[in-house]
Structure 1
Amino acid sequence: MGVQKLAVACRVLALCLATIGATNPGFVVRITQAGLDYAHQHGVRILEKELGQLKLQDISGDFRVLRVGKVRYEISRLQLHNFYLPHSHISLVPKVGLQVSISNAFADLSGNWRVKIYFIRDHGSFDLKVENVYIKIDLQLGSDPLGKPTIDTSACSTRIANIRIRFSGKFGWLYNLFHGAVEPRFKKILESQVCELVARSVSRELQPYLRTLPVTAKIDARAGIDYSLVAPPAATARSLDVDLKGEFFSLAHRSAVPFSPLPLALPPDHSHMVYFGVSSYFFNTAAFAYHAAGALVFNVTEAVIPEGISLNTTTFSAFIPQLERMYPNAPMTFRLSAPSAPFLSIGPQGLSLQPVVDVQAYAVLPSSEPVPLFLLSLTSNVSAVVDVRSGHIVGSLKVGRIKFTLKQSDVGTFQVRQLQSLVNTIASSILIPQLNERLKEGFPLPLPDRIQLSKILVRFHQNFLLLGADVVYQPRE
């Protein structure tokens, strides 16, 4: 009985540890087969160019020929003219990574030869055609301690089906001698060097390019986004999924977010090259970071309000008669602030939030600190429109009917509802436009260098926003 209890306790402990150690992403990037095919096209062109620059060492040796004796040969000044990769395919290997298969590749080489048989010497040039080359490359995907993606060649094999050499020189019969001695060596050397070059190309070209994926993105002077990987990229039968932290943080003082991301399961859409799953956690950490940085504070003075409204105690005495007696014709200011970070919800109908805004009114007296007058609490249903422009998530807010209550008054009692139209004007003409001006700049998506998005799709799901797009790679000129 004691053993059984111990076993149950161990299983419970293991489950708890697994739960604690699990990290849900706040942001998911899904690359579909179409996206991999597009990337593969550019990668194969780079590999083809690299293979075309292979440097081959001189070859020398000797062999014995029946009734002829020992033949000494030298192959020098080998030059690879072209290496063509006409047929290739990239495939997903679940729980492993990616596999690139190249078939029916071919290459053209030329060089010089020299031979010595006893007292006979001859030399000349040759052309060599490498045909039906098959290359298979396994790519292992991972992440480093900083959360940047990594890629490595975990396996590579090359098989050359056929090599044909055409020699020039005095003695045509030497071709038959070279055929048996040289072609196997060419095959072995090329097969080895192709895989060595593939590994170098992945390390020199592909890995540095992947590292251009930003794991942190500075938004402005107050906040940044953490796009570090929370797990190595996961290959499934139909896509490559990359789980990112997807968390905003204050640049001045980064503190732990007091809530966690919910599990994020993208729908099985594959009509676009890439999808971005943007959870409500992502947006809510933005609100948390900006609130912590003191950015959700707005000061309203007469200089920023619409023309025709004088922001002073004389104007407000129509609603609060005692103001004119207490502070005659004194300028007024308002300080708008969020007592807590607003919480955004995402559902099939879109994005919405119900922010609470405190509005503190002050009278500005000559040669003194502003004098507090009253404090209002505003609430409203706010909807958001989201789009993608120039690789940034952009948006705008639309405010519904505003409700407000009087939280504190330093000037006595008054009818709060009479301030309704003025409060609406301040919110709709000042607060929302300032927020929308910031949202118009947007927040950058995690994109590697020289990638642009097209054919943007925006869909809303429970607790997350789904963005779909095709990609266009812009090479350096």
Structure 2
Amino acid sequence: MKDDSPFGKLTEDLLIEIFIRVPITNWEQISCVRKQWSNLFRGECLWLAALNRAYPLASNTKSWIGPIRQGLSKRRYVALYISRNILGVDTDIDEMLGHIYLFLKDQLQLSTMPASGVLHGTLIDQLIVCGKSKEEAGELATTIWLTLLDNLEDTKHTFTVLKSIAQEYDGFLPYPYSRPIKVQWKVFEKLFVDFLLLSTLFFFFLEMALMKVMTILVLFVSVSSTLAQSNNGGHISILVSETGLEFAKDYLIKKVITTTLPLQLPDIENKVKIPLIGKVRMGLSNIQIEAVHVQSSKIETGKDGIVLSVSGATANLSMDWSYTYRASFFEISDHGDASVEVKGMDLKITAALVNDNGSLKIVSRENDCTVENIDIHINGGASWLYQGVVDAFQKMIISTVEKTVSIKIVEKMKKLDSFLQSLPKQRKIDDSAAVNLTFTGNPVLGNSSVEVDINGLFLPKGDDIKVSGSRSSSFFGGVKRMVTISVEEEVFNSATLVYFNAKVMRLVIGETKNGSILSTSDWKLILPELYKHYPDNKMVFNMSVTSPPAVKITENGIDATIQLEIAIDVQDSGEVLSVARISSVLNVACSEEITKNNLTGSLRLKDFNATMKMSKIGEFQSNYVQAATSRILEALFLPYVNTRLKRGFPLPIPGDFTINNIKIVYVRSGISVCTDIGTGTNH
């Protein structure tokens, strides 16, 4: 069919020149007008012209290597738009950042999303291969993650993706596959932003702080990590004190207000009889709670559960009013806006936390919202309107506020309960072990405190979780902090058992901590027979633990006994020969400290004894064996272990939280980590 309209006479080149001068926000509508125009927006020519017009320097950008490629003109245009308008990059040479953003967004939209650690590593690899340093690559990748997470739409798929990322554990993944702590907390922040109850704070610590702090403490002992035995009771306890509850209450009230408002209320209609006028049909619409001011609040714990109450709160509402009535043969109507001040709003929430087959379940017992009075201010309208609105709607507005707030609370509690039920009961640590995260027994609600217990032991990867309803006797170090995490000695000993059985407690050292190759010439004074048989030969120390290290915690700290076998191997004519084997028993002390929000630690040798178990180079005097073992341990074994421990692990501090006044307290057969919590505004 011939197109006789003026647009039908325009060539495609001219149409393209017109379209690329129209704001990009209108392009989708334009593409729907005609089939020809739709085809133009699908083709390469329009996007190439748009790219050259909007980003003239883009033609100078060379293609790059790496896993994330440049793409065609449309992809490049979108990438540059994202770089400039979303990521805030002003130079055309950073087009690659937009492509990385698009790549990450595409991956998160997949029904089966790759592990977030793998995605983060891909981002880092792309940036490094294009000339960025490790530090620059880490900062840019983190920025892209945070920006994308902030711009995700609130859909069911987004919630599923965030929950999947939150349930991943990458505490032991090497660089660059370990996600930054800022990204992890952004995920938790978006998941928790609508949650109301104190349980949120528990899981901040349980899922992040507890996992990482406890794993690191176990590292001090076994240079690896953890797991389980036959005892299924609780071995890790979390106590939130009165000050911790107060902090959680104030923070959560503030968070709920800022993330819930403005809150839309349903429209209201009513008929009222006005003197001298008759029956008037009135309606209120676009009713919103725009602000809430809390005068006082408190949180209590006891046999009835956790009780959060707010009293004397005020709220500000805005709304539109309208009315219609008949006068003789005419219908008279008017409309305007109004404001309402809600006074004396009291709120009470009572909920219990119970153990449901190893998971925490929220049981709602009472949700009550009452309003004492309201003040209505009418803008415009006839003189009789104010009293008419008061008569018609005062009680209805109060009832609507009370009902809507109560319904909103129920919705949030159901959402939180669903999230708690979906949390995994075990968490993979590595290819050898997983940790048992099942709750044991019901939470204990004391006088102004809450305590929860989890199994906390680690088990061989692939073993089934055993859920127990029993609780062990908890201990706390006597130091008053907002949150105290107590860990029993069994956790550490179960760690050494699992990793010993997994045959990973082995270490091969062929060079010094300075990187120089080990040679028999370095040991000729301590092991003269070795140097005599193999002068200036390369050598390797092959060390392995022969039984699970035994951990003992006392009031003075953590000690461990390690049975270590040291094989001395030399390279002779291209062949590796085992020439001697020393059996030793080490007693070591473990120390730890907090450095710039990192938890670090080290091992210190207290004493040892050693015997020569096998020798192909003659007999050794006892003093030579002791001297050789001492040098091996002090110069090679302990420096290697402590280098790993001193790298430390970041403590889980979300964007608006700080963890301070941390103190580690030792008690008999256990350890307590005590800490206060604050926000950035506290400093």
Letter paired with 1:105: A
2:344 and 2:373 in contact (8 A); partners too: yes
1:230 matched residue in structure 2: 440
Query: Any gaps of 5 or more consecutive residues in structure 1?
Result: 1-19
1:212 and 1:448 in contact (8 A); partners too: no
2:567 matched residue in structure 1: 360
Letter paired with 1:178: V
2:305 and 2:445 in contact (8 A); partners too: yes
**Offset of residue 219 of structure 1:** 5.3
C-alpha change, 1:66 and 1:442, in structure 2 (3 Å) is same
TM-score normalised by the chain length of structure 2: 0.57
1:347 matched residue in structure 2: 554
**Offset of residue 114 of structure 1:** 1.0
The farther-off stretch of 151-160 and 191-200 is 151-160
2:263 matched residue in structure 1: 54
What is the CA–CA distance in structure 1 between the aligned matches of 2:248 and 2:602, rounded to whole Å?
33
The farther-off stretch of 58-67 and 332-341 is 58-67
C-alpha change, 1:273 and 1:314, in structure 2 (3 Å) is closer
C-alpha change, 1:155 and 1:128, in structure 2 (3 Å) is same
1:293 matched residue in structure 2: 502
SS at match of 2:481: coil
1:164 matched residue in structure 2: 375
The farther-off stretch of 229-238 and 187-196 is 229-238
What is the CA–CA distance in structure 2 between the aligned matches of 1:367 and 1:432, rounded to whole Å?
29
1:106 matched residue in structure 2: 314
SS at match of 1:459: strand
What is the CA–CA distance in structure 1 between the aligned matches of 2:356 and 2:499, rounded to whole Å?
29
1:83 matched residue in structure 2: 292
2:341 matched residue in structure 1: 129
C-alpha change, 1:278 and 1:391, in structure 2 (3 Å) is farther
C-alpha change, 1:450 and 1:341, in structure 2 (3 Å) is farther
Query: Any gaps of 5 or more consecutive residues in structure 2?
Result: 1-228
2:457 matched residue in structure 1: 247
**Offset of residue 448 of structure 1:** 8.1
C-alpha change, 1:373 and 1:442, in structure 2 (3 Å) is same
What is the CA–CA distance in structure 1 between the aligned matches of 2:556 and 2:369, rounded to whole Å?
53
C-alpha change, 1:108 and 1:414, in structure 2 (3 Å) is closer
1:219 and 1:443 in contact (8 A); partners too: no
Alignment of 1:10-409 (within 5 A): 23-63=232-272, 70-94=279-303, 96-110=304-318, 111-116=320-325, 119=328, 121-125=332-336, 126-142=338-354, 149-151=360-362, 153-168=364-379, 171-203=382-414, 223-251=433-461, 263-267=472-476, 269=478, 271-301=480-510, 310-311=519-520, 315=524, 319-320=528-529, 324=532, 330-368=537-575, 370-388=576-594, 393-409=599-615
TM-score normalised by the chain length of structure 1: 0.79
1:432 matched residue in structure 2: 638
What is the CA–CA distance in structure 1 between the aligned matches of 2:273 and 2:465, rounded to whole Å?
76
CA RMSD of aligned residues (A): 3.9
The farther-off stretch of 226-235 and 32-41 is 226-235
2:453 and 2:471 in contact (8 A); partners too: no
C-alpha change, 1:254 and 1:414, in structure 2 (3 Å) is farther
1:72 and 1:117 in contact (8 A); partners too: no
C-alpha change, 1:315 and 1:88, in structure 2 (3 Å) is same
Q: Deviations over 1:196-219 (max 9, x none)?
A: 122334455x66887998865665
**Offset of residue 61 of structure 1:** 2.2
> How many residues end up aligned between the 2 structures?
446
2:476 and 2:484 in contact (8 A); partners too: no
1:419 matched residue in structure 2: 625
Q: Deviations over 1:395-454 (max 9, x none)?
A: 211102321123334455432322222211110111111222222345687888975421
1:79 and 1:109 in contact (8 A); partners too: yes
What is the CA–CA distance in structure 1 between the aligned matches of 2:556 and 2:487, rounded to whole Å?
15
C-alpha change, 1:270 and 1:423, in structure 2 (3 Å) is closer
Letter paired with 1:99: V
What is the CA–CA distance in structure 2 between the aligned matches of 1:234 and 1:447, rounded to whole Å?
26
1:5 matched residue in structure 2: none
Percent identity between matched residues is: 22
C-alpha change, 1:211 and 1:35, in structure 2 (3 Å) is farther
C-alpha change, 1:310 and 1:51, in structure 2 (3 Å) is closer
SS at match of 1:395: strand
SS at match of 1:276: strand
**Offset of residue 464 of structure 1:** 0.6
1:314 and 1:329 in contact (8 A); partners too: no
Q: Deviations over 1:98-157 (max 9, x none)?
A: 211011111222321314266474534433221101111123334666x56554644210
**Offset of residue 297 of structure 1:** 1.3
**Offset of residue 358 of structure 1:** 1.0
1:16 matched residue in structure 2: none
What is the CA–CA distance in structure 2 between the aligned matches of 1:422 and 1:21, rounded to whole Å?
40
What is the CA–CA distance in structure 1 between the aligned matches of 2:657 and 2:370, rounded to whole Å?
35
Greater strand content: 1
**Offset of residue 352 of structure 1:** 0.8
C-alpha change, 1:442 and 1:235, in structure 2 (3 Å) is farther
C-alpha change, 1:203 and 1:444, in structure 2 (3 Å) is farther
What is the CA–CA distance in structure 1 between the aligned matches of 2:381 and 2:507, rounded to whole Å?
92
1:334 and 1:361 in contact (8 A); partners too: yes
Larger RCO (CA within 8 A; separation ≥ 6): 1
2:591 and 2:603 in contact (8 A); partners too: yes
What is the CA–CA distance in structure 2 between the aligned matches of 1:121 and 1:25, rounded to whole Å?
72
1:139 and 1:151 in contact (8 A); partners too: yes
Greater helix content: 2
**Offset of residue 382 of structure 1:** 1.1
What is the CA–CA distance in structure 1 between the aligned matches of 2:407 and 2:243, rounded to whole Å?
28
Q: Deviations over 1:272-313 (max 9, x none)?
A: 111110221222223223323333212233556897984269
What is the CA–CA distance in structure 2 between the aligned matches of 1:226 and 1:390, rounded to whole Å?
30
The farther-off stretch of 404-413 and 278-287 is 404-413
**Offset of residue 359 of structure 1:** 1.5
